Structures are given as structure tokens and as C-alpha cells.
Chains A and B, each alone.
Chain A
Amino acid sequence: MSGIDEVLARIGSQLKLDGETEHEILAEIRSHLEEAVAQARAEGLDEAEALSRAAARFGAEEQVGKDLQATHAGWGTADAVLAAALPVVCALVLRWLAFAPDGTAVGWQQVLSRPAFWGVALAGLLLPVVKFRRWRYAVAGWAVLWALTVLFAVSPALRW
């Protein structure tokens, strides 16, 4: 394990976040340390001295890890839930557009001709992708709900 890896391991030991967030945090700090080491090397220090200086200037790794944990705790989860919730809300609107409140079907071709249908469909997909860091949750939720919508349209007997 290189010196930079050891620093990252000490920071990572304080993180209990989702994998994507931890990966991004550690990638950013790795980039910082690599640049600090490269600058020190350019100033004539050997590898060990350069790493030592970079680590010293970076500061207490455990404290940085704790601060990052405190900053991100709950945020990633909230972001993912919000991202996933938006397509669900849109799906409920779609259901209202696609099916009458009493469950009787509106013709599928009629639905496709409604601008509002496409507006909601695009908003439900694009907003989470653009606005949320956990956009993959939105895409996954969107895909599942679209599959259900198509399934119910093709097989009305499955509707509840």
C-alpha cells in the first residue's frame, strides 16, 4: 500500500456512507495528495519527503474523515430517496392521465396523443437526472414504473 493509500485508508475508516459517495470523496482527496506530492517532487524533494510534506499539510486525516462523514451523513440517502420519489410522483400523475379514477382504461393511443402525458414523462426522467447526484436511483425507479405501466396497458387484467 502506498503512502497516499494509507492516508486515504485513515480517512476512509471514518466514513460510513454509501459506496458512491465514499468513492467520490476519496477520489477527490487522492487527486489533491497526488498533486501535492508532484509539486513537492518538482521542488526537489524525494518521494518520501514529498509524501511526508503533503500529508502534514493535509492535516489530521481522522478529523477530516469525521467532518466529511458529518457533512454527508443522511444527505446521500435523502438525495437518493428524493431522486427515486420524483418518478413515483410522476407515475401517479401518469396513472391519473392514463386511467380514469375508477380504474377504467383510457385508450392507450389517446394517452400518447396528450401533450401533458409527454410533458410529465420527460419531466419525470430529466429532472432527477439533471438535479440529483443519485440520479441512477431515479432512472431505476423510472424504468420499473414504466415497465409496470406498459404491462398494465398490455394486460388490463393485471390492474388493481
Chain B
Amino acid sequence: MAIHEQMRKGTTTVIVLNLLAEAGRPMYGYEIIQALEARSQGTFRFREGLIYPRLHEMEQEGLLRSEWQGEEGERRRKFYAITAEGLKRLDVELADWHTLAAAVNRLLGGEGQA
């Protein structure tokens, strides 16, 4: 089951930052989408085009930096890498996420109950 669109929007930042941090290398948009879908086993399914405004916003916020790669005559791709600012944001967002997830699980009577 695909997650609700609104929930997806709220989690895109932390998910993309986490993916790039774990990958330890720059990735391009199509590659990011494929990796997210594969990792979530289809649960996190993007309408693919919507990732680009978010990637560009994150770049403007200084969380990512981008670079075009590819020689003349071959497909050129815009690669995104996480910045030091992005790593800091990831730490904060992951902590927030774990706190929220534990609280929601407690409220729903599921895992995470103390």
C-alpha cells in the first residue's frame, strides 16, 4: 500500500538526506527515486516528477549541492550530494522522527510502548 501523499511530503527531506548520507556518494534524481522505491519495497512510491522541486528546494536551503556530470555525446545527469549542513539537518530530523514514531506507536498501542 502506498503511503498517503501528505505524509510522503513531510518525510521526503529526511528520507532523501538519509539515502544520500548512507550512499556516501552523489546520486541523480532518477537514481534516487529508484533507490527509494526499492528500499521501501514499493511503499514509498513517488510521482517521480515531484521529487525535483523538493531536490531544488533542498539545494537552495544548502542541504544538498549539485553537479552536472557526463561527457559530450552521452547522457548528462545532475548529481546531488549531501552537504555538511544536510548532515546536521539529518541528525535533527532523525531524532525528531524517532521521537514522533515512538510517541505515535505508544498512542496507537503498538511497538515502542515503554
Interface residues, chain A, with chain B CB atoms under 8 Å away = 11, 24-25, 27-29, 31-32, 34-36, 57-61, 63-64, 67-68, 70-72, 75
Measured between alpha carbons, how far is A67 from B52 in the docked complex, in Å?
Answer: 9
Q: Which residues of B contact A29 (CB under 8 A)?
A: 49, 52
B56–A64 CB distance below 8 A: no
A27–B49 CB distance below 8 A: no
Determine how close the nearest CB of chain B comes to the CB of A70; give it in whole angstroms.
7
B78–A61 CB distance below 8 A: no
Find B76's partner among A31, A68, A71 (CB 8 Å cutoff): A31
Chain B residue with Cβ nearest A54: B48
Q: Which residues of A contact B49 (CB under 8 A)?
A: 11, 29, 32, 58-61, 63-64
Chain B contact residues, majority secondary structure? helix
Q: Tell me the B41-75 residues at the A interface (CB within 8 Å).
A: 46-50, 52-53, 56-57, 60, 75
Range for the number of chain B residues in contact with chain A? 10 to 19
A31–B47 CB distance below 8 A: no
Chain A contact residues, majority secondary structure? helix
Provide 10 A-B residue pairs closer than 8 Å at the C-beta atoms, listed in order of the A residue. A27-B78, A28-B52, A36-B30, A59-B47, A59-B48, A59-B49, A63-B49, A64-B53, A67-B53, A68-B52
Measured between alpha carbons, how far is A27 from B78 in the docked complex, in Å?
Answer: 9
15 extra interface residue pairs, beta carbon distance < 8 Å, beyond A28-B29, A31-B76, A60-B47: A25-B52, A27-B76, A28-B78, A29-B49, A29-B52, A31-B30, A36-B30, A58-B47, A61-B49, A64-B53, A67-B52, A68-B52, A68-B53, A70-B53, A71-B53
Measured between alpha carbons, how far is A149 from B106 in the docked complex, in Å?
Answer: 69
